Structure 1
Amino acid sequence: MDKPKQPCNWTGVACSKAVLPRGRDQGDAALVVSNISLAYCGLQGGLDSLHFADLSHFVYLNLSGNYLWGSIPSSIGALAKLTHLDLSNNGLNGSIQQASLDLPHLVYLKLGNNLLSGRIRSSIGAVAKLAYLDLSVNNLDGSIPTFIDLPNLVYLNFSRNALSGPIPSSIGTLTKLVVLDLSFNGLNGSIPTSIDLPNLVYLNFSRNTLSGPIPSSIGALTKLVVLDLSFNGLNGSIPISLA
């Protein structure tokens, strides 16, 4: 009878060497599962059945485009080494505040196109290594966290939610940002003059309730290719550099 395949030989699974904790082979190095990529595989069920506490060596997890439902369990916070998390295009629901996603090594976080609700945790603004953040097409509400200290962020997409309140001026500190999409929300107030982002290529604030003038700083975004401020309550003149 054939022996079952080891997990490291399974499709979509990769392993790496790691030193096991004391009590498990006395600190010897062994192969452990570190990467799982099972996007669009027809998987069904909830994440609460996964024992994240036993997967502390994970660095990459991609379960996007499946049929996952239920909430994101708080135990996902045990994946302290995780750099890449993609759970987009599923049916995940529940409050995003219950999910411990402020993982210290996280670089890529994509949860778009689910049914997640609640407010965005303020602690997400302190995940210093984060470069890609997509929470679009959910049911998130409340305001955008005012504290955003993400010096490596390149992509930020909160579009198509139910966010309200002003656009925080701290977004102006995201100097590496290339894509900024806050469209299709209920954001109000004026566009911050601090949005002077030298690398910005795509800016979309459309379909909100923003008011006031278009800041002249937007006209100074020399790399900007796409600018959409439509369907708001903006007034005043268009900056000369945009005319």
Structure 2
Amino acid sequence: MTGGLPNAAVENLRNLQQLNISGNSLDGSLPASLFALPHLKILDLSSNDFDGHISIGSFSGPISLEVLDLGFNRLNGTLPVRAFKHIRSLNLGHNQFSGSLPVSLFALPQLNSLDLSYNYFEGHFPTSVSSEPVQLEVLHLESNMLSGALPTERGTQ
């Protein structure tokens, strides 16, 4: 498939739980209506040509997504971390995100897999990412421009 993904194409899919349209040539902005679908748990738009920001739009509450794969696109901007309260797996690898690593990502309560590889994140790796134990099981940060020490465990077991 080619072309954009207009809001009208997805806004009425109110019962949709999973959407996978990866590996196409879709381009343009991500429709904000995708993130407002109340039952959408898995969204895979990887390996397309989407660009611009992840736009949550006027939808102010946490999104229902548990798995979000936007890898291999041309997305940039800031990450709407506050909206990702239920996210378990987040793949934003191979995009054009830049700036400092959002420390708040590590405090997401359900997140166990995070891929931010092959972006342009820079600065120091946060040495104190959360006051609670971090649930991450998989973390990919390769091919960024991060520096600094890695966090160590608090206390001994």
After TM superposition, the score normalised by the length of structure 1 is 0.55
Letter in 2 for 1:122: V
Evaluate the alpha carbon distance shift between residue 54 and residue 160 of structure 1 in structure 2; reply closer, same or farther with a 3 A threshold: same
Provide the residue aligned with 2:100 in structure 1: 143
Q: Distance in 2 between matches of 1:107 and 1:151?
A: 11
In structure 1, runs of 5+ residues without a counterpart are: 1-42, 197-216, 221-243
CA RMSD across the alignment: 2.6
Letter in 1 for 2:86: K
Evaluate the alpha carbon distance shift between residue 144 and residue 63 of structure 1 in structure 2; reply closer, same or farther with a 3 A threshold: same
Deviation at 1:56, TM superposition (A): 1.7
Q: Distance in 1 between matches of 2:146 and 2:79?
A: 14
Provide the residue aligned with 2:116 in structure 1: 158
Provide the residue aligned with 1:64 in structure 2: 22
Deviation at 1:119, TM superposition (A): 2.1
Identity %: 36
Letter in 1 for 2:119: N
Select the structure of larger CA radius of gyration: 1
> Of the two structures, which has the highest relative contact order with CA contacts closer than 8 Å and spacing of 6 or more?
2
Q: Distance in 2 between matches of 1:128 and 1:150?
A: 6
Provide the residue aligned with 1:89 in structure 2: 47
Aligned partner (choices 132, 149, 154) of residue 89 of structure 2: 132
Q: Is the 8 A contact 2:88 2:111 kept in 1?
A: yes
Deviation at 1:113, TM superposition (A): 0.5
Deviation at 1:172, TM superposition (A): 7.5
Provide the residue aligned with 2:71 in structure 1: 112
Q: Which structure has greater strand proportion?
A: 1
Deviation at 1:165, TM superposition (A): 2.4
Q: Distance in 1 between matches of 2:89 and 2:36?
A: 21
Q: Would you say how many aligned residue pairs link Structure 1 and Structure 2?
A: 153
Q: Which structure has greater helix proportion?
A: 1
After TM superposition, the score normalised by the length of structure 2 is 0.82
Q: How does 1:1-243 map onto structure 2 within 5 Å?
A: 43-48=1-6, 50-96=8-54, 98-99=55-56, 103-124=62-83, 127-148=84-105, 149-168=107-126, 169-170=128-129, 173=132, 175-194=134-153
